[in-house]
Structure 1
Amino acid sequence: MLLTDPLDGEQRLLLETVWKVFAEHGRFPNYQYVEYVLYKEQVDAQAVLRGLPVAQGPFQSAYRMVGAESSGGFIQPHAAVWLTIGALHHLDDEKARAVCDLLLACMRAVTLAREGILKDPFGTFEVRAQLKDVLAVHPAPSDVVDRVVKIGQQGEWPGLRVDPAAGAFYLRPGALTNADFASTGDYLAAVTAAAVPPWTPTPLSYTDARALPRAFTVLEITAELVLNRPGFVARPPMDRAVILAEPVTDADGFHHALTVLTDVLGSFQVPGKNPPHALGRLHAWLTGELPNADKEALQRAIDVLDAVREIRNNGTHYTKKPKPELLKAHHRLEVPLQITDHAQAWDSIRARATEALTALHEEIYAARPPAAPTQAP
């Protein structure tokens, strides 16, 4: 689960409980209070905390949406329960958005302050940004400023520290040395990308190279029989079609194969023109044609296929500041942001695409309308 993924009702309840107290009083509530509020709603606070997404990477400590000091895995009743931008990102609250905007402005100021290092090649420069200078450009109410300082004191951005007495934000060496982000989504995507562990390929469900072309054929037949849509998959020329069943050995081969796969997915004959790519229209059309279809299962399969398009269009070059959509695409296809083994990455993408095409076929066939009764002679 990614930091920007939607939260369930219990997770949102936890965030809103902590935020309500913090927004009103300027202090984080203790765990005993939070636990009891959730208990009254028949929710296990400890279980919810454990279920929230965490970015565990090359930082001094993991980046969490919600945190509290614990000992031996047990949170003391008096321990403060604190929030980060990871939590505020999910809150529909004007003050929460104002806090995020000012925190991001402070991060951008600290990032810019790093240019001072170039002034003296022999000295040690303290990278910092004065809060008053940030407020001169990005004014904010005093209660918002107070809450920004308190969240910053929790080590919001890996490497960022706050000195309330000096009214300054400092940068220490860390995994993220640049934070010039305009949105919380971009910032959290970068935190997640920095926390991605070394890639460990998962076992592939499909290892036969011909499985992907077969999945396209089966889906095409199913679309014709169930949806009366002949030619649903526009077949590419033979010299391109064979690429789907061939291995790749380098980056050029990987990008070429990814382009062919993206083109075939984009050839789906889905009615309409908005959005311009066929996969973006596919869910609405299928659920309209098949009222009994499992909408969530269809969306999961389409999301995986659309991840191929996202990586092909926006992920051909590695970046430390990926957009949230690109990060999700790599997550869905189970390939790392920085691809070094292109053969393994292509095999993984083919396997996940085959799974998704197979799921589409199965859902369409399962939701087919009942056959019309036969007239007696």
Structure 2
Amino acid sequence: MTTRPVVLFVTSYVSPFMTELTAAVNDLGKVAFHAAYAETTQFANHGAHWNTATERPDTHRRAPEVSMTDFLRDCFQRYRPQVVICGYGRGPAYETTFALCRDGGAVFGVFAEQPMRDGRLKHLVRVAYYQQLWRRQPPAFVLAVGDRAVQFYRRLLRDPEAAVFFPYYQDLRPVLAIPDRPPRERLRFLFSGRLAAQHGIRGLAAAFERLAQTHPGRFDWCISGTGPEERWIRQALARSPALAQSVSFDREFATWQERLRPFAASDVLVLPSFHAGWGLVIPEALGAGMPVITTRGVEAARYYVEAGVNGLFVEPNPTDIHRALAFCLEHPQAVQAMRAHTRASVTRGDVQVGAARLLGLLARWL
């Protein structure tokens, strides 16, 4: 009996999407694929429904009492991988994983989004750090999440072509199974994701507050997420009784699949991010038959969106967001036309496509 080569994916928090990719790769039967989740403090931010690591024997979550180094060393000793994909582009976990690959003779690669651009000086310091680290401990390849990530990492590699575009794939069957909603006069907008500054929550709250003035009683806004930027929404609700009557929260989910409940009950997704490395709610929304209002800062998810075809691009400021929201309310026929092009646009993001593509990319080392 031939032993299958082993691929180990080392990343930070439990990712249901990576659990899905792990399952899809293993279903192909060509390699033994394992995902190792090294961080332990996740679920206060993401919710317990994200904890899918215990569902499969090929996904492993570090226990709080175990050090990261011991956890990773145990994974290497137990599975003896030929290829390791590291979800850290820098830091102690990167250096530890690199050292374990060097000692065990495994090929070391990276899967990463573009670092956040949160100020020119911080960005320059971060680039200098990457350059120094990757000169000492270079990856053999980079699976870059988004075209800007490809450009960023190609500048750091000895072989620029070793950085390839690789978005985050996911199992789209549950969202594709959501029935089409009939048109309705009162449009329901959805925000799904972390209520964090990078998602433009302050501007989003201001845009909806203005929409409640310009189009009162004509929309609902469902918020599916938690985070520190919720204060901007609460302040807008306190100032605007009309907005308060239009807003609901749907964010308590017992299982991973339950998170799709607001997608099934909404019409248009709004995600005005300054930076979102994966933007996975966008293919989820499109797969559920929802046009999207988003920005060009959502990185990998941008390649699913065609302006005016299945969604609208905006700048992440209140005026531009309000203009797009108002357009949807004033032109329901345009929303319906975009809805007709949503589901087909995400088929290339399905996890089975990603699993086959990943094996193709790794074939030279297996």
Higher relative contact order (CA 8 A, sep 6+): 2
TM norm structure 2: 0.30
TM norm structure 1: 0.29
Q: Name the one with the larger strand percent.
A: 2
